[in-house]
Structure 1
């Protein structure tokens, strides 16, 4: 059985839209676990009132993404999950999303799978996976390489985000859960899927499984909305900082081949130091 893990903190309007999209799935062969990390809005009451089918696990507000997801995965595994999926609450799943992910999982039972993503506001395709060249720290966006008419099937990638990430139990059995100690929020998903790939598990973006997302709600976008010294510091060093230097260092040390590590680190630091002001 597939268990879908959704970490939430407030923003009930997004959570409701996400859960409604799961209710509308053509395949209902899954269970949903919401990890409510101390929400102070109507999340808890609305979940209990309107979504009795959803299991709720609670935190005290200090879990952040990684520990929240891990808490949900542990709960799912204890209930007998043979695969789990991490799903952000600010995404909307296409009606056949689960069916397409399960179909791909049936054909590739040890594969880690992500989804093709669209901007929920414009309908534009915005994410289809990427391949990273560790030698030069160069990212190759698959959407630049695959024409719109050929965007179907599975495509191998270096890593995947956690916004709609299917993980077989074989993966958690071998490499454990997400690295909540060193990567409490950002890069934990890219790190986990990169580690899984290096451990021998295929990592694919499934172009037949579609999600709509709200790019403006990402922490990186919010931090950069108003340029300031405080925002710059948060970008580089806060847990929610998209350019967090410590997180990047941990990711590099764990995943970059040693011969390429010095340049990869220096290049990555430079990009983070100046990137806040360029994007």
Structure 2
């Protein structure tokens, strides 16, 4: 049985749209667990009233993304889940999203799969997987390198985000859950999929499955929207900071090839210290 795990904190309108899209799936053979991490906008009450098919796990307001996802995964595995799909609440699944993910999961039963992401407003593809160079510290976007005819089916990637990530239960048995101790919010998904890949589990982007996302709603974009010294500090040191230096260091030490670690760290620190003000 597939279990879909959605961590939430407030933003009920997004959660409702996400759950409504799951109700409209062409293949409804799955169950949903929402981890409500102390929402103050009535999310918990509305979930129980309007979506009785959804199992709600309550948090204490301090779980953040990684511990929230892990709480849902533990519950799902206890129920006997054989596949887990982590999903952010600010996404909308295409009607055949689950069907297209499971189609390829049955053909690649040990693989981790992520969907092609489209901008929810323009329907333009905005993320189609990356192949990362540890030497140059740069990703190669498959959207840019694949021809239109090749933008279908599965393509191997270095890592995947967690906002639509399908994971076989066997992966958790082999490598454990997401690293909530060292990576409480950002990079936990990239770390998890990178570790899984090195342990022999293929990691693919699935161009046949589509997920609508709102890139302007990400924590990183909101932090940069009004640049300030306080925002800069949060960017570098806050739990929700996209440039968190501590998190980046942990990610690098765990995943970068050992001979490249010093150069990779220096490159990464420079990008994070300057990128907050340089990015448009």
8 Å CA contact 1:153, 1:206 repeated in 2: yes
Q: Which position in structure 2 is the counterpart of 1:219? A: 219
Following superposition, the deviation at residue 42 of structure 1 comes to: 2.0
Following superposition, the deviation at residue 149 of structure 1 comes to: 3.6
* DSSP-derived class of the 1:136 partner: coil
Q: Which position in structure 2 is the counterpart of 1:193? A: 193
1:124 matched to 2:124? The reply is yes
Deviation per CA, 1:100-122: give whole Å up to 9, x if none. 00011000000000010001011
Q: C-alpha distance in 2, partners of 1:218/1:138?
A: 21
* DSSP-derived class of the 2:193 partner: helix
Q: Which position in structure 2 is the counterpart of 1:145? A: 145
Following superposition, the deviation at residue 278 of structure 1 comes to: 1.4
1:114 matched to 2:114? The reply is yes
Q: Which position in structure 2 is the counterpart of 1:180? A: 180
Q: Which position in structure 1 is the counterpart of 2:21? A: 21
Q: C-alpha distance in 2, partners of 1:227/1:14?
A: 25
8 Å CA contact 1:35, 1:59 repeated in 2: yes
Following superposition, the deviation at residue 165 of structure 1 comes to: 0.2
* DSSP-derived class of the 1:41 partner: coil
8 Å CA contact 1:136, 1:263 repeated in 2: no
* DSSP-derived class of the 2:16 partner: helix
Q: Matches of residues 30-109 of structure 1 in structure 2 within 5 Å?
A: 30-109=30-109
**Stretches of 4+ moved more than 2 A in 1?**
147-150
| Greater Cα shift, 22-31 or 147-156 | 147-156
Q: Which position in structure 2 is the counterpart of 1:244? A: 244
- For structure 1, list consecutive stretches of 5 or more residues without a partner in the other structure: none
Following superposition, the deviation at residue 124 of structure 1 comes to: 1.1
Q: Which position in structure 2 is the counterpart of 1:209? A: 209
Deviation per CA, 1:109-166: give whole Å up to 9, x if none. 0000001000101111100010111122121111110133431100100000000000
Q: C-alpha distance in 2, partners of 1:271/1:62?
A: 28
Q: C-alpha distance in 2, partners of 1:168/1:4?
A: 12
* DSSP-derived class of the 2:15 partner: helix
- For structure 2, list consecutive stretches of 5 or more residues without a partner in the other structure: none
Q: Output the TM-score relative to the length of structure 2.
A: 0.99
* DSSP-derived class of the 1:31 partner: strand
1:261 matched to 2:242? The reply is no
Q: C-alpha distance in 2, partners of 1:203/1:29?
A: 24
* DSSP-derived class of the 1:81 partner: coil
State the number of aligned residues: 279
* DSSP-derived class of the 1:89 partner: coil
Q: C-alpha distance in 2, partners of 1:263/1:138?
A: 13
Following superposition, the deviation at residue 46 of structure 1 comes to: 1.0
